[in-house]
Amino acid sequence: MAASAAPHGYTLALWAATAMTSTERGGPGTADVLALLAGATLAFVALGAVAHSGAPMASDRPSVDARIWAAFHLPTAASAALAGLLLAQFCSGPLLWGLVGATTTAVYLLGVSAQFLCFAVSSHRTTKDTHP
């Protein structure tokens, strides 16, 4: 269950963003779908490179409490959906869909990172208070 939290959240975020965009602009064509995939992939790779500063991406096992935070996707999925809706007001065609893919990925990854940061700060304060 814990291992599926992040993929599940990203699926929700991307689905919500594409559903909102499709509602506003209609379904994507082939070029639009390819632009969405390219935008999402490029944003993921770029943010991963920045986050790891070129270091190998090692997998550290998070605590149970951190995994619970990883499963709370409502803020990030809703933010991604709203970003898609906003983009649909200003763009169209493959540009729109490429930006929806990139923006959804960036919003999701940055949102989840912010959740983990909040958890880490809160956890550190609790540990510091209970173990002086």
pTM value is 0.74
98-129 pLDDT, tens digit per residue, is 999 999 999 988 888 887 787 777 666 665 65
* pLDDT value at residue 102: 95
Please give the residue that has the higher pLDDT: either 64 or 40. 40
Helical pair 93-130 and 5-25, crossing angle rounded to 10 deg: 150
The whole-number pLDDT of residue 57 equals: 52
Q: What Cα–Cα distance (Å) separates residue 39 from each residue in 93, 115, 124, 132?
A: 13, 23, 36, 47
Average the pLDDT over 23-35 and give the result.
93
For residue 16, give both structure tokens. 């919500």
Q: Where are the domains of the chain?
A: 2-51+64-130
Contact 109, 47 (CB under 8 A): yes
